Amino acid sequence: MAIRTLTEFLEALKARHRARGLDDSLITELTEPTDSSGTMRYGVIFNLRRPRLKDAKPKAGSND
């Protein structure tokens, strides 16, 4: 199935993270206001932390 919209992309990305047992809450969509030409801009933020299993707790002394 081809991904055609940002929403479909984000859902597929989050589903892949969940399938691997990773936390998908670090993936965020930003919606910016429409510019003068009427073009809507979107941004996707990927938090650059090392992926961690949902139930895993941070190790002592780490910055997480």
pLDDT, tens only, 7-19 = 888 899 889 888 9
For the chain, what percent of residues have pLDDT higher than 70?
Answer: 50
What pTM was estimated for this model as a whole?
A: 0.48
Cα angle 28-14-12, degrees, rounded to a multiple of 5: 115
Own/partner long-range contacts of 18-22 (Cβ < 8 Å, ≥24 apart): 20/51, 21/53, 21/54, 22/51, 22/52, 22/53, 22/54
**For the ranges 15-19, 38-42, 58-62, which has the lowest average pLDDT?**
58-62
